[in-house]
């Protein structure tokens, strides 16, 4: 088997660059500077980096570590205990503290054991309310913390003449590090003397192909060495690197999330209504001579019981359970509320390189030839002969060429001379001897360079130039191949190899699904515009890809304060299919402009240059293999390649949203029933007019109200497991519609409660409707217990009314929800029959509790009819859209058919 003779091989001075696609942008850090040209953190820069060949001494390295700090980004750490303490002084917990204080004073004044029980139950309610939500949030945070902890960067350093591996956080400016193939560049460095290396900067610039770095070049933290080995001097560490400068923009973003705003608005409205109603009740009861502390305790507990104390806890638990579902689907959630925001996401801005594409060049089928009778295979074979085919490939393009041919077929040739790629002449050349003893030359390189040296330029030149221009406009990289018929230099232009960083196999399906689900996908990349246009065209995303000529390059502090981005650039960003050649500040601007237009914006990315936009987006998604900066900035971190996980996450998040919306409808309905019932029963019902021994107003004891709250909110957490369908369109909180539907349910329940109270109070009258049913007359304590049971059961039945837009039987509930319903209603019934807490309430018979069950079940059907009528009316007037639901089985089948194996 013939092997090539090395001949007069010239020293390599570089590796083959990107050809035929035009000038590339210099990346996202082209103009950045540390302190200034002369000083680094107040120290003369030249003195820092003028390191001897042997490297720093250990003593000097320790001194600089103390002076400049570790090579790591500053991260805001939350004090867990302080965070827990602050949870107890939020508005809702403060109301419970007020109830506990007032009830304690009332208990002390009246020396009542019943009041002590009330206090204990309120304290239990407080602890449950705060701790459940806090623990669930901590669990979700631990998952992402564990992921970050798993990233243990190391660096090979040279100190005192010894080369060894250290934790990269121990690097200091002036350290000599060894950069080798496959390793990450651990800090900003300047390349020292030696042969050039190939560096993948895609995480910084979005550029797919590795670039050659020569002595004196600046290598940035976050890049990866793909070929070669060389020493470099560290010029900046930690927050002074480009990595760290970008993180400053990330750290500057901190505001209240969309979900928290919605919860606060719902809570504030209900609290305002509750305060108003309770104030009226308080004034009335005081005016008729009821004891001040008794009235105050009753009203505060009524307010606690009626407003959604557990709203945040239940929603947090629902979100946390959703986070576990997403983790099983390879998506780790770092911020709970991002799940709700993902459900409402209307625009997904995606980085191109490594996210939409594979981040590796692939030889394209399009291989134009310019000599009659020459096949695609022949052009590839000639291209391989222009390299050292018997050795491992030295760059990305040679790797693709050699993998595309049968190497054994080249063994009949002998390479007698080889000139490696030279960035000056932009081509490589080999002299080849065939088995019949004849020699010829073959070259490959930049199309315009190769064409200029070919004898057939006059006949094929125009066609070649047209093809190269067409490929460049499409963002496809090209490499020309030519040969001679003998050892002369009469080269003949043979053909053009084409290369492209192709979309991932799952990308188009993911984008199609996102579009079908009402999410518009836009590409944002630092790569060349032509490449971005071609990628968008291939994926069916449109071709309206804009450069940055219409977007200003603003500083981080300017972006954070800008309030007119939506007005100035929102429409431009909304209409564009993508943006190319952008800097991190541009990505941030695009995301913020869309947000200021009222859209919920998602952003996917993997590099340092994506981090600011990831943080600013409503939903930042770091894809698998993302840098630690991107992961730290993101709300969701994918642990599986590609974007298909996002489709699953969208479906899951919309189901989670549906569960929360159902719960909010239910809780508002319960609040309306409870508040208005006690207002009306206290002010307009006068039991003493029926029986002089009875009080002047109707109410039930504090313990009964708290019991309703604990059983109600404690078991309703089961909605987190309910069976729901994901909407085909992004979800949003339309609070007006929510209040209307809640009122249809709650006010119907209120009417049924007032009706049964009226009948029960008249039970002493032998001619009353109550007695006509053969029921015995009731004492006041029994009437209180009966109303406790009725209100409790109405609340639990309302769960089923709230969970569907159609009839409650149109979608089966989960077994867990049914189990919780059985437990809560059984507990309430047992308490009503065997009431153990005194406070004047008396247990009722099993027979009477059975009648209450029948009564509540009958009215639950009426409530459901009212709800269905309400939805139909809202749809008729166009206030609510009839939105289809996602067929998850169909989606799963499609995904399995397209990707039966793991996508690489």
Instruction: Kindly compute the dihedral angle of the four CA atoms of residues 504, 729, 672, 311, in this order, to the nearest 10 degrees.
Output: 10
Same domain for 552 and 609, yes or no, is yes
Residue 228 has pLDDT above 90, yes or no: no
What whole-number percentage of the chain has pLDDT above 70? 85
CATH number at residue 290: 1.20.1110.10
Q: Is residue 645 part of a domain?
A: yes
Which range (348-357, 556-565, 632-641, 722-731) has the least confidence? 556-565
Same domain for 410 and 398, yes or no, is yes
Same domain for 531 and 631, yes or no, is yes
Our answer to whether residue 188 is catalytic in this structure is no
Residue 254 has pLDDT above 50, yes or no: no
Number of domains present in the structure of the chain: 3
Q: Which pLDDT score, from 0 to 100, does residue 765 have? A: 81
Q: Is residue 756 part of a domain?
A: yes
CATH number at residue 597: 3.40.50.1000
Residue 627 has pLDDT above 50, yes or no: yes
Query: Roughly how many angstroms between the first and final C-alpha of the chain, as a whole number?
Result: 36
Q: Which pLDDT score, from 0 to 100, does residue 801 have? A: 93
Residue 255 has pLDDT above 70, yes or no: no
Q: Which pLDDT score, from 0 to 100, does residue 899 have? A: 57
Q: How would residue 78 be classed by pLDDT, with cut points 50, 70 and 90?
A: low
Q: Which pLDDT score, from 0 to 100, does residue 798 have? A: 92
- Span 612-619, average pLDDT: 86
Residue 56 has pLDDT above 80, yes or no: yes
Same domain for 718 and 842, yes or no, is yes
504 CB neighbour count, 10 Å cutoff = 22
Residue bearing tokens 């009861």? 285
User: Does the CA dihedral 292-293-298-300 come out positive or negative?
Assistant: positive
Residues 233/49, Cβ–Cβ less than 8 Å: yes
Q: How would residue 842 be classed by pLDDT, with cut points 50, 70 and 90?
A: very high
Residue 43 has pLDDT above 80, yes or no: no
Name the more confident of 122 and 374: 374
CA distance 803 to 864: 10
Q: How would residue 149 be classed by pLDDT, with cut points 50, 70 and 90?
A: low
What does the mean pLDDT of the chain come to? 81
- Burial of residue 275 (CB within 10 Å: 0-12, 13-18, 19+) is middle
Residue 244 has pLDDT above 90, yes or no: no
Q: Which pLDDT score, from 0 to 100, does residue 10 have? A: 35
Q: How would residue 86 be classed by pLDDT, with cut points 50, 70 and 90?
A: confident
Residue 44 has pLDDT above 60, yes or no: yes
Same domain for 444 and 580, yes or no, is no
CA distance 205 to 531: 14
Residue 495 has pLDDT above 60, yes or no: yes
Same domain for 379 and 522, yes or no, is no
Q: Which pLDDT score, from 0 to 100, does residue 902 have? A: 45
Q: Which pLDDT score, from 0 to 100, does residue 550 have? A: 83
CA distance 129 to 131: 6
Residue 91 has pLDDT above 80, yes or no: no
Residues 704/841, Cβ–Cβ less than 8 Å: yes
Which residue range(s) make up the domain with 295?
80-144+255-335+650-876
* Listed ranges 99-113, 197-211, 342-356, 784-798; the one with the highest mean pLDDT: 784-798
Q: Which pLDDT score, from 0 to 100, does residue 888 have? A: 78
Residue 39 has pLDDT above 90, yes or no: no
Q: Is residue 600 part of a domain?
A: yes
- Span 863-880, average pLDDT: 91
Same domain for 603 and 457, yes or no, is no
- Burial of residue 515 (CB within 10 Å: 0-12, 13-18, 19+) is middle
Which range (72-76, 170-174, 575-579) has the least confidence? 72-76
Domain limit, last residue, from 500, 518, 546: 500
Q: Which pLDDT score, from 0 to 100, does residue 26 have? A: 34
User: What 8-state DSSP symbol labels residue 553?
Assistant: -
Which range (103-107, 311-315, 648-652, 897-901) has the least confidence? 897-901
CA distance 884 to 113: 56
Domain limit, last residue, from 500, 517, 545: 500
Find, among 740, 713, 704, 733, the residue nearest to 877 by Cα: 740
Q: Which pLDDT score, from 0 to 100, does residue 538 have? A: 86
Q: How would residue 14 be classed by pLDDT, with cut points 50, 70 and 90?
A: very low
- Span 537-566, average pLDDT: 83
Q: Which pLDDT score, from 0 to 100, does residue 499 have? A: 87
Same domain for 352 and 366, yes or no, is no
Q: Which residues contact 28 (CB under 8 A, 6 or more apart)?
A: 204, 205, 206, 242, 246, 526, 583, 584, 608, 609
Find, among 617, 565, 606, 621, the residue nearest to 589 by Cα: 565
Residue 448 has pLDDT above 60, yes or no: yes
Domain limit, last residue, from 444, 472, 500: 500
381 CB neighbour count, 10 Å cutoff = 20
- Span 266-278, average pLDDT: 85
CA distance 740 to 307: 17
Q: Which pLDDT score, from 0 to 100, does residue 4 have? A: 43
Q: Is residue 489 part of a domain?
A: yes
Q: Which pLDDT score, from 0 to 100, does residue 3 have? A: 43
Residue 472 has pLDDT above 50, yes or no: yes
- Span 760-776, average pLDDT: 83
> Would you call 551 helix, strand, or coil by DSSP?
coil
Q: How would residue 706 be classed by pLDDT, with cut points 50, 70 and 90?
A: confident
Same domain for 697 and 825, yes or no, is yes
Catalytic residue among 188, 351, 618, 635: 351
- Span 463-485, average pLDDT: 89
Q: How would residue 602 be classed by pLDDT, with cut points 50, 70 and 90?
A: very high
Find, among 189, 218, 92, 215, the residue nearest to 713 by Cα: 92
Q: Is residue 186 part of a domain?
A: no
Q: Is residue 219 part of a domain?
A: no
Q: Is residue 8 part of a domain?
A: no
What whole-number percentage of the chain has pLDDT above 90? 29
Residues 318/311, Cβ–Cβ less than 8 Å: no
Residue 897 has pLDDT above 80, yes or no: no
Residue 32 has pLDDT above 80, yes or no: no
Q: Which pLDDT score, from 0 to 100, does residue 556 have? A: 66
Q: Which pLDDT score, from 0 to 100, does residue 593 have? A: 92
Q: Which pLDDT score, from 0 to 100, does residue 432 have? A: 93
Same domain for 584 and 694, yes or no, is no
Q: Is residue 541 part of a domain?
A: yes
- Span 160-185, average pLDDT: 87
Q: Which pLDDT score, from 0 to 100, does residue 277 have? A: 87
Same domain for 435 and 450, yes or no, is yes
Same domain for 670 and 543, yes or no, is no
């Amino acid at each position: 088997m013939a092997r090539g003779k090395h001949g007069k091989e010239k020293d390599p001075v570089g590796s083959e660059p990107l050809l035929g696609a035009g000038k590339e942008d210099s990346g996202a850090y082209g103009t950045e500077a540390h302190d200034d040209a002369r000083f680094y953190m107040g120290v003369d820069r030249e003195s820092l980096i003028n390191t001897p060949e042997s490297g720093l001494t250990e003593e000097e390295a320790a001194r600089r570590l103390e002076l400049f700090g570790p090579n790591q980004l500053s991260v805001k750490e939350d004090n867990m205990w302080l965070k827990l303490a602050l949870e107890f002084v939020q508005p809702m917990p403060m109301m419970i503290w007020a109830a506990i204080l007032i009830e304690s004073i009332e208990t002390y004044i009246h020396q009542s054991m019943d009041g002590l029980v009330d206090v204990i139950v309120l304290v239990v309610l407080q602890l449950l309310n705060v701790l459940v939500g806090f623990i669930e949030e901590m669990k979700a945070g631990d998952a992402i913390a564990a992921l970050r902890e798993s990233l243990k960067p190391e660096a090979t350093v040279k100190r005192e003449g010894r080369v060894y591996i250290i934790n990269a956080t121990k690097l200091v400016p002036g350290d000599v590090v060894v950069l080798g193939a496959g390793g990450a560049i651990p800090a900003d460095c300047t390349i020292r003397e030696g042969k050039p290396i190939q560096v993948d900067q895609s995480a910084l610039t979005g550029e797919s192909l590795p670039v050659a770095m020569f002595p004196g070049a600046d290598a940035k933290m976050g890049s990866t060495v793909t070929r070669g080995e060389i020493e470099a001097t560290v010029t900046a560490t930690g927050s002074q690197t480009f990595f760290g400068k970008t993180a400053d923009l990330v750290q500057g973003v901190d505001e209240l999330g969309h979900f928290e705003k919605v919860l606060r608005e719902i809570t504030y409205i209900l609290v305002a209504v509750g305060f108003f109603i309770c104030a009226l009740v308080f004034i009335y009861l005081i005016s008729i001579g009821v004891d001040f502390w008794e009235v105050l305790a009753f009203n505060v507990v009524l307010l606690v019981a009626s407003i959604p104390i557990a709203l945040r806890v239940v929603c947090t638990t629902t979100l946390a359970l959703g986070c576990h579902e997403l983790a099983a689907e390879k998506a780790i959630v770092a911020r709970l509320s991002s799940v709700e925001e993902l459900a409402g996401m209307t625009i997904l801005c995606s980085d191109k390189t490594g996210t939409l594409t594979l981040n590796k060049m692939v030889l394209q089928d399009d291989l134009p030839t310019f000599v009659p009778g020459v096949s695609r295979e022949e052009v590839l074979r000639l291209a391989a002969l222009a390299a050292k085919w018997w050795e491992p490939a030295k760059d990305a393009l040679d790797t693709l060429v050699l993998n595309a041919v049968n190497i054994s077929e080249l063994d009949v040739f002998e390479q007698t001379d080889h000139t490696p790629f030279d960035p000056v002449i932009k081509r490589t050349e080999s002299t080849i001897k065939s088995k019949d003893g004849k020699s010829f030359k073959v070259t490959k390189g930049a199309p315009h360079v190769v064409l200029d040296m070919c004898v057939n330029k006059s006949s094929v030149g125009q066609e070649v130039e047209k093809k190269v221009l067409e490929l460049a406009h499409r963002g496809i990289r090209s490499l020309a191949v030519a040969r001679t018929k003998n050892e002369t230099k009469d080269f003949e232009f043979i053909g053009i190899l084409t290369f492209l960083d192709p979309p991932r196999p799952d990308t188009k399906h993911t984008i199609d699904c996102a579009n079908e689900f009402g999410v518009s996908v836009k590409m944002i990349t630092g790569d060349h515009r032509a490449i971005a246009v071609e990628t968008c065209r291939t994926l069916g995303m449109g071709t309206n890809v804009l450069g940055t000529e219409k977007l200003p390059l603003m500083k981080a502090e300017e972006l954070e304060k800008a309030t007119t981005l939506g007005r100035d650039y929102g429409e431009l960003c909304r209409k564009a299919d993508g943006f190319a050649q952008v800097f991190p500040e541009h990505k941030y601007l695009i995301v913020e402009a869309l947000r200021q237009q009222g859209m919920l914006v998602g952003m996917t990315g993997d590099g340092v240059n994506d981090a600011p936009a990831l943080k600013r987006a409503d939903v930042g998604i770091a894809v698998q293999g993302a840098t630690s900066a991107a992961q730290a900035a993101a709300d969701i971190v994918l642990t599986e390649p590609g974007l298909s996980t996002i489709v699953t996450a969208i479906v899951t998040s919309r189901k989670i949203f549906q569960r929360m919306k159902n719960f909010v409808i239910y809780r508002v309905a319960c609040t309306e029933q409870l508040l208005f019932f006690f207002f009306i029963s206290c002010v307009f019902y006068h039991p003493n007019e029926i029986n002089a021994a009875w009080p002047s107003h109707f109410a039930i004891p504090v313990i009964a109200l708290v019991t309703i709250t604990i059983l109600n909110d404690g078991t309703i957490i089961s909605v987190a497991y309910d069976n729901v369908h994901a909407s085909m369109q992004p979800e949003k909180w339309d609070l007006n519609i929510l209040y209307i539907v809640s009122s249809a349910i709650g006010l119907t329940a209120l009417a049924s409660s007032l009706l049964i109270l009226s009948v029960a109070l008249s039970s002493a009258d032998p001619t009353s409707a109550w007695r006509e049913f053969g029921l015995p007359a009731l004492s006041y304590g029994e009437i209180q217990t009966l109303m406790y049971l009725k209100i409790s059961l109405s609340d639990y039945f309302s769960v089923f009314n709230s969970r569907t837009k159609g009839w409650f039987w149109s979608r089966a509930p989960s077994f867990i929800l049914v189990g919780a319903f059985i437990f809560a209603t059984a507990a309430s019934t047992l308490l009503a029959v065997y009431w153990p807490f005194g406070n004047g309430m008396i247990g009722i018979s099993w027979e009477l509790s059975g009648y209450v069950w029948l009564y509540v079940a009958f009215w639950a059907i009426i409530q459901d009819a009212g709800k269905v009528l309400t939805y139909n009316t809202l749809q008729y007037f166009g206030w609510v859209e009839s939105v289809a639901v996602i067929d998850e089985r169909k989606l799963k089948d499609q995904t399995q058919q397209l990707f039966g194996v793991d996508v690489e």
